[in-house]
Amino acid sequence: MHADLSDDEKDHEPVISTGDLPSGERVRLLLTEAHERYRTVTDGHVADYIPALAAASPDLFGLAVAGVRGRTFAVGDSDATFSIQSVSKPFVFALVCDALGHDEVRKRIGVNATGLPFNSIMAIELNDDRTMNPLVNAGAIATTSLIPGATADEKWQHVLAGLSRFAGRQLSIDEDVYASEAANNMRNQGVARLLESYGRLYFDPLDATDVYTKQCSIDVTVTDLAVMGATLADGGVNPVTGVRVVSADTCKRVLAVLATAGLYEQSGEWMYDIGLPGKSGVSGGIITIAPGKGGVATYSPPLDEAGNSVRGQLASKFLSDLLGLNLFASAPAILPAGVTPLPA
């Protein structure tokens, strides 16, 4: 797949994270190369603790990039639909921040990483804030409980409409996934009741868990995820539809939490390798957001032991490096001719 690449692209010199995305041609070339490079990786296992997820083909692999100027690029199984799962969490958090204000949400949910698995009961008991952040299950259920609406159906419709605006099209629920998850969500129900006992849940625990289960069962494509990520990258405006979904200030807060807790206990490793806010889900989706540039999304069901897509992580690192997205990449400033550097 190197035949159409220029010499500098073959060498894969790192690109500094400034300005816009590279040209459309380069984005397409690198997406194609990432897909070819990692599609034969067979590590990992498809999630099987939810029966409906276990039916996913381990061969599915799609990649997409959406820029803040409205360009979208996709390769592989980009039309395959899958349930959004935990990738829904930052977008519901964004909707709640816009509705209540980010300071109020920080008081009620928290923004610190737990350092423990996403479904940990111990994290609730060991931390005075209980929920800790909106990206672990406890914090996510509490966040969903804060969604505007007097009834569970009103809250669900608000979530579905909001995530549809992020994607730029009307999304829908996968009823089979929802039924499968609803029949196996006793742990989340227990988490919700525990939070209620500590005064850290803001709606009926069973209803809040049900709405949360529905939000995780929304069907998306990898292109949908890229556009949703690009909306956070674009200050809350969907770059494809031009519709403002949330405020720029909300985006800033969401990206900060993603940077510290988006990959749970592996968030430090993720930032060390990829240098961007990101979020994974057990169906195999990963979003990565380059503020001011766009969103990168990957879909591949086989997961590592921490529940993150194996191929998705490899492709995300490759694209972050080669598209010049890593927030921590820099180079010495080039001074104009005749200008003497200041003494150290």
Q: Provide the CB-side half-sphere exposure for 238 (13 A, CA).
A: 19
pLDDT for residue 276? 96
Which of 136, 128, 158 is CA-nearest to residue 146?
Answer: 158
Q: Which secondary-structure segment (H or E) carries 172?
A: strand 172-173
User: Please, what's the b/e burial string for 316-326 (b: 16 or more CB within 10 A of its CB; e: otherwise)?
Assistant: bbbbbbbbbbb
Q: Are residues 46 and 310 in contact, defined by beta-carbon separation less than 8 angstroms? A: no
Q: In what order do the strands lie in the sheet with 172-173?
A: 82-83, 218-220, 172-173
Rounded to whole angstroms, the Cα distance separating 139 from 191 reads: 10
The values of phi and psi at residue 45, to 5°, are: -140, 140
**Domain limits at 306?**
7-322
Here the CATH number for the domain that contains residue 247 is 3.40.710.10
Please tell me whether residue 73 adopts helix, strand or coil conformation. Answer: strand
Query: Mean pLDDT in runs of 10 for the chain (344 residues)?
Result: 40 54 94 97 92 93 96 97 97 97 92 65 61 84 97 98 98 96 91 90 96 98 98 96 96 94 86 95 96 96 92 96 90 73 68
User: Please, what's the b/e burial string for 177-207 (b: 16 or more CB within 10 A of its CB; e: otherwise)?
Assistant: bbebbeeebeebbebbebbbeeebbbbebeb
Q: Which amino acid is at 163?
A: L
pLDDT for residue 9? 41
Rounded to whole angstroms, the Cα distance separating 321 from 197 reads: 46
Would you state the torsion angle of the CA atoms of residues 108, 110, 116, 120, taken in this order, to the nearest 10 degrees?
Answer: 10
Q: Does residue 231 form part of some domain?
A: yes
Count of domains in the chain?
1
pTM of the model: 0.89
Q: Which amino acid is at 344?
A: A
Q: Please tell me what DSSP assigns to residue 248.
A: H
Q: Which secondary-structure segment (H or E) carries 180?
A: helix 175-182
Q: Does residue 339 form part of some domain?
A: no
pLDDT for residue 2? 34
Q: Does residue 220 form part of some domain?
A: yes
Q: Does residue 343 form part of some domain?
A: no
Q: Does residue 341 form part of some domain?
A: no
Q: Does residue 329 form part of some domain?
A: no
Q: Does residue 332 form part of some domain?
A: no
| Cβ neighbours of residue 280 closer than 8 Å, sequence gap 6 or more | 86, 87, 262, 263, 286, 307, 308, 309, 312
Q: Does residue 342 form part of some domain?
A: no
